[in-house]
Structures are given as C-alpha cells and as structure tokens.
Structure 1
Amino acid sequence: MKLIEKLRLRLFNGAFDSTKCDKTTVLVVDRIRKLRKRKEEDIVKMRNKICALLQCGQDPINKTCIARILIEDLIREENILEAYVLIKGFCNLVRGRLSVIQVQRECPENLKQAISSLIFAAKKCFHEIPELLTLEKIFKKKYGSDFVLAATQPNCVTPVIVEKLSNRNSTDEEIEKIIQQITKPCNINGEQAAWNCHPTSPYLYDGVAYNAFINYK
C-alpha cells in the first residue's frame, strides 16, 4: 500500500514543473515592470492633456466631448495598472509557496484566490502579458480543467481584480473624482501645474496594503 502511494505521489508531483512555474512568474513580474513604466508615462500625458482641455472650458459630463472620452480612457488605464500590481503580488506569493504546491495534491486554501486570480487575469491580459497563459497551462496540468474553469468565475477571484479588469463604463461619480484630482494640481483658475504623481489605492489583500507587501523596484 505504501509503495502504491509513493508511486502515485511521484507520478502526481511529476505533473508539476516547479522550475518552469518559478521562471514564468519571474517573466510575468519583469513584463509588468516594463509595462508599468510605459503606462505611468502615458497616464501623466493623459492627465496633462485632460487638464488642458478642461482649461479650454470643455464639459466632461458631456459624454461626447473629448475630455470625457479621455477621462474614461484614463480610468481604464489606471485600473489596469492597479490590477498589474496585484498580479505581481500573486506571482510573488506563488513563488514563495512553490515547495507547498509541489507536494500537495489539491490547491492550498491560502493560495486558491491568488492562483484563481492569475488564471482569471490570463483571460483578460494575455495580449500584454502572454506569460500568464503559460501559468494557466501549468496550473491546469497540476489541478485539472475543472479547477481552471472554476477559476474563471468572478466569485473565486479577488474582487479587486474583477473590478479593475472589467469593461464597464465609468460612472459620473468616477468622472467627477478624476476631475477633482486633475483640476487641483493643474490649478485651473491660475497657473497650470504639471501633473506628476502616480495613482495609489488603499486596497488590501489578506489585511495588508498591497503597496506594502509588493516591492515595485
């Protein structure tokens, strides 16, 4: 009986390539680092352009005006950027638990949401982060098709990831929030000030602010 169990364990563990998983998560993190730099530069340009349009008197509540369209694009870009932060954090979490993943047949409870979120993100971000599809295949081989299918359901995924990667239209309240953020540093009623800050969010994962447990540099 013990021999059969050992053979089953050996066969099962052979289905998971921890080295490949480790290398793939490193590639995802590196890809995000490059994407982050580009997106942050784009966001600064978008904010400055929106500020200039608002100074010209455009009404961003009008859904057909250029300022409104740019603000909606800005919100989407900032949402994606925040999703990337979480994806990077989940990759680091998986890397730190590879030895546990290797020996356990089922997905550890404290990793289910992180791994499910990576699989969910693969469906949404594969154009910019194709390495996520490789991770999806690795987890599919490890845990089976049913696990991967379940992982694509929003209730299995970190809610923030679902929110940030959704394609919904921005609300008037979200538009107004961005307007307030932009007009204050731009000083619409006086001299224009360059916008030179990066978006931050107070989202938590396991009770810890993500910008505290994820090292961007």
Structure 2
Amino acid sequence: MGKILDALLGRNFKLSKVKALATLAISRAAVLKNQRYVRCSHARSDVVQLLNLGHEERALIRVQLVTEEKNMLDALAMIEDYCHLLKQRASQLTRNTDCPDELKEAISSLIFASSRIGDFPELQR
C-alpha cells in the first residue's frame, strides 16, 4: 500500500509499471472470478440437493455460502472494472497535476480492497 501512496503523491511514479500491474490484476481478477463462480454453482446445487433430502438447516448454511460467494464475485467484478479504468487513464496522472474524480474513486477503492482481499498480491504492490 505504501507504493500506491507514493504513486498518488507523485513520488517515483512509473506509468509502465502501473499499466503492467493493472493488466496482471485484471487477469488475476478473472481467474478468481472463475474460481468463485465454480464454488457458487457447487454450493447452489448442494442447496437444491439438501432441500430435496429435507435438510433445511444445512441448506441454510449453504445459502449463506452462496450469498458470500456472490458478494465476492460482485467485488471482483468491481475491482476488474477499476483496474481497466486505471489502465486506460493512468497516463492522465503523469500529464495533469490534478487527479480526475473517477480515478480517485478507482484508486481509493483498490487501496481499500488491497487490505481486504488477501489472495490478490497485485493490489499489494
């Protein structure tokens, strides 16, 4: 997170490195989304089977897992979108002294997500 802060403050900012990390983060988000989607679909089918067998309590636990996986899928989609935006508009950070509002939102959201998602090393750099 320190390197992101340095980039925001204009210290040692390298456009090529930001674009490369954004590209890596986009591909990592796609992989994580696929993994989460598979988990979600398995949990959803488990819910159906448990309800057919009459195990409502266990089905409720699985429904909670489905909800958590869907929330993570939504978060990963947002991270992927923010990385696309950062990759496309990173050159504005070198040209302008003021950061556009949409980039501020994207960067601050990525910084927040970096502290919350442990299996996303590209956000830590």
Alignment map for 1:4-83 (pairs within 5 Å):
15-59=12-56, 65-83=57-75
The answer (yes or no) to whether the contact 2:40–2:69 under 8 Å persists in 1 is: yes
Which has more helix, going by share of residues? Answer: 2
Aligned-partner Cα distance in 2 for 1:29–1:14 = 24
Does residue 108 in structure 1 map to residue 105 in structure 2? Answer: no
Q: How far is 1:13 from its partner? A: 5.6
Q: How far is 1:29 from its partner? A: 0.7
Identity %: 30
The answer (yes or no) to whether the contact 2:36–2:72 under 8 Å persists in 1 is: no
Length, aligned pairs only: 117
Alignment map for 1:137-176 (pairs within 5 Å):
none
Does residue 94 in structure 1 map to residue 91 in structure 2? Answer: no
The answer (yes or no) to whether the contact 1:13–1:103 under 8 Å persists in 2 is: no
Q: How far is 1:105 from its partner? A: 3.1
Aligned-partner Cα distance in 2 for 1:133–1:90 = 15
The residue aligned with 1:128 is 119
The answer (yes or no) to whether the contact 1:122–1:133 under 8 Å persists in 2 is: yes
Q: How far is 1:110 from its partner? A: 2.6
C-alpha deviations, 1:91-130, integer Å up to 9, x for none? 01011111111123343223211111111111111x2111
- The residue type equivalent to 2:17 in the other structure is K
Aligned-partner Cα distance in 2 for 1:29–1:110 = 18
The residue aligned with 1:4 is none
Aligned-partner Cα distance in 2 for 1:77–1:110 = 27
Aligned-partner Cα distance in 1 for 2:59–2:10 = 54
Whose Rg is larger?
A: 1
- The residue type equivalent to 1:98 in the other structure is A
What is the RMSD of the two structures over their aligned residues, measured on CA atoms? 1.6
Gaps of 5+ in 1: 1-11, 60-64, 135-217
Point out which structure has higher relative CO (alpha carbons under 8 A, 6+ apart). Answer: 2
Moved over 6 A (4+): none
The residue aligned with 1:157 is none
